[in-house]
Structure 1
Amino acid sequence: MAEARKLWIEGPAGRLECALRVACPARAAAVLAHPHPLHGGTLHNPVIFHADRELARAGWTTLRFNFRGVGTSEGTHDDGRGEVDDLAAAASWLRGVAIALPLAVVGYSFGSWCAIRHAASDRGVAAVVAIGLPVRAYGIREIPRTGRPLAVVQGSDDEFGGPEEVRALLGRADPPGELTVVPGASHLFPGRAAEVAAAVLEAAERGLARGR
C-alpha cells in the first residue's frame, strides 16, 4: 500500500489541503469527504482514514481533502454550498492523476450529503458511498437523482437517521440505492472504523460493477 503524500490543490475558494495515495497498478480511484467542518471534521477523521486505507490496500488511488477553512485549506465554511464545489475540484483533480480509471465518491456524515449532491451534477462519477447519512440533521426527504449506483453504510443506532428512514429514501432514489447496516453502531461508529471501512470497500466495488 502506498504511503499518503500531503499536497495542495487549487479549489474554488483557494488551496485545499489533501492526502494522496497512488496505487500501482491502480484498479479505480476514490475521493473521500470528511464530516462537518464546524464539529471537528477533517481529512484525519478515523472513519475516513480507515476507509481510505482499506481502498488503497485493494488497489485504489485515493484522495482525502480538507474542506475550505479546515486545517491549511483556504477559505471559510459555506454551510455545504461551497463545500460541494470543493469536492468537485478534488474529483476533477484526481481524474487528472487517475486517468481513465472509474471514480467513486465517498463521504461521511456532512461529507456524505456533499458527495450525493456532487454526484447529481457530475456525470464522471461512477459510484457513490455515503457513510452515516445525516437524514434528520439536514431534513433530507429525497435523494437527488444521480443516475449512478448509490450505497449507504449506516449504524443501526444512528442518531441522525435510522436504517428504516434511510431504506425508505434509497427505495425512492433513481436508481434505487443499497443499504449496509452496522449493528449496534451510532453515528460516530466508535471502535468500528475498521468494520465500516470494509463495508465501504465492498459497497464501492459493487457500485463500480453495477455501473459498468
Structure 2
Amino acid sequence: MARRIESYMLEGPAGKLEALLEEPEQGEPAEAVLICHPHPKGGGTMHNKVVYRIARGLRHSGCVVLRFNYRGVNLSEGTYDEGRGEIDDARTALEWLKGQYPGLPVSLAGFSFGSRIVLKLGCVTPGIRRVIAIGFPTIYREYDFLLGCTVPKVFIHSTKDQYGPVAELDSMFADMLEPKQLIYVEAGDHFFADGLDRFEEAIRSLGLSA
C-alpha cells in the first residue's frame, strides 16, 4: 500500500481533470512520474490494469506517481480531442506534479495510446529525466517525431503485441537516437495477458534514474 494516496481535480485546459497521486511504499520519494493511460475511445482510464501495474511497480522503486484521466474520461471534463488536447492535459498534470515535488527528477510513463502521449510530450519538454513507453502501437505508422528525440527512452513491450509487432518495433527502435533501451516481456498480447507479473517486475527492475 502506498504511504500516501490522494485524489485531486486538477484545473485542465478543457476543465477539471480527475487525478490520483500515490507516494512510495516506504520513505520519501526520489523521483516523480506522470503516468498516461490508453485510448479513451477503447475504454482506457487511469484504472486500466496495466496502468495500475506501472504505478505499483514505480512506487516500489521509490517513485511518487500521478495518474489522471484525459478530458472526457470518467470525472474529467471536456471531450476527446484526437490526441492533441490529451497532450495538453498531460502537460498540465506534469506541471502540477512538478509543483508538488520541486527538486525531484521528473519522468513520464504511458501505456499504448498513452505511450505516444508521453513520448510526444517528453521529447519537447526540457528537464525530463526519462520516458517509459509501454506497448507503443506501431500500427499508427507515425513516429517520425521520435527520430530526433534525445531524451532517454525506455520501451517495454509484449512479445505478442498485436498493435506493435516485434519486427516493426525493432526497426523503429534501431532508427532512434541514444539513449534508449528496449525490454521485451513474455506475454500473450498487447495487454500483457499471462505476463502481468513479469511486466511489473520489468518496471521494478528499472529502479531509480541515476
Structures share a fold, TM > 0.5? Answer: yes
Equivalent residue of 1:76, what SS?
coil
Contact 1:116–1:144 (8 Å) recurs in 2: no
1:93 deviates by 0.6
Which structure 1 residue ranges, 5 or more long, are not aligned? none
Question: Hey, what's the Cα distance between the residues in 1 that align with 2:72 and 2:32?
Answer: 25
Which residue in 2 is equivalent to 1:46?
49
Give the direction of change, closer, same or farther, for the CA distance of 1:188–1:75 in structure 2 (3 Å limit). same
The 10-residue stretch of structure 1 (158-167 or 40-49) with the greater mean CA deviation from structure 2: 158-167
> CA separation in 2, counterparts of 1:104 and 1:198?
19
- The Cα shift of 1:21 comes to 1.2
1:119 is aligned to 122
Is 1:109 the counterpart of 2:112 in the alignment? yes
**Residues 204, 171 of structure 1: CA spacing in aligned structure 2 closer, same or farther, 3 A cutoff?**
farther
Q: Which residue identity is paired with 2:189?
A: S
Offset from partner CA, 1:117-175 (integer Å, 9 cap, x none): 00121012110011100011x11343253321101111111111122211221221122
- TM-score normalized with structure 2 length: 0.92
Letter in 1 for 2:127: G
Deviation at 1:2, TM superposition (A): 1.9
Q: Secondary structure of the residue that 2:200 maps to in structure 1?
A: helix
Q: 1:37-76 CA deviation, whole Å, 9 max, x = no partner?
A: 0111000001111110121122211100001100100110
Matches within 5 A, 1:109-188: 109-136=112-139, 138-142=140-144, 143-188=146-191
Moved over 4 A (4+): none
Task: Provide closer, same or farther for how the CA distance between residues 204 and 115 of structure 1 changes in structure 2, counting only shifts above 3 A.
Answer: farther
Partner amino acid, structure 2, of 1:139: R
Decide whether aligned partners of structure 1 residues 204 and 34 sit closer, same or farther in structure 2, where only a CA change above 3 A counts: farther
1:83 aligns with 2:86: yes
User: 2:101 is matched by which residue type in structure 1?
Assistant: A
Equivalent AA in structure 2 for residue 169 of structure 1: M
**Gapped runs of 5+ residues in structure 2?**
none
2:74 matched to which residue of 1?
71
- Report the aligned-residue RMSD: 1.6
- Give the letter aligned to residue 88 of structure 2: D
CA shift, 1:4, in A, is 2.4
Aligned: 1:94 with 2:97? yes
* Structure 2 partner of 1:10: 11
Which residue pairs with 2:200 in the alignment? 197
2:35–2:66 Cα contact (<8 Å) kept: yes
Indicate conservation of the 8 Å contact 2:21/2:64, yes or no: yes
- Identical pairs, percent: 33
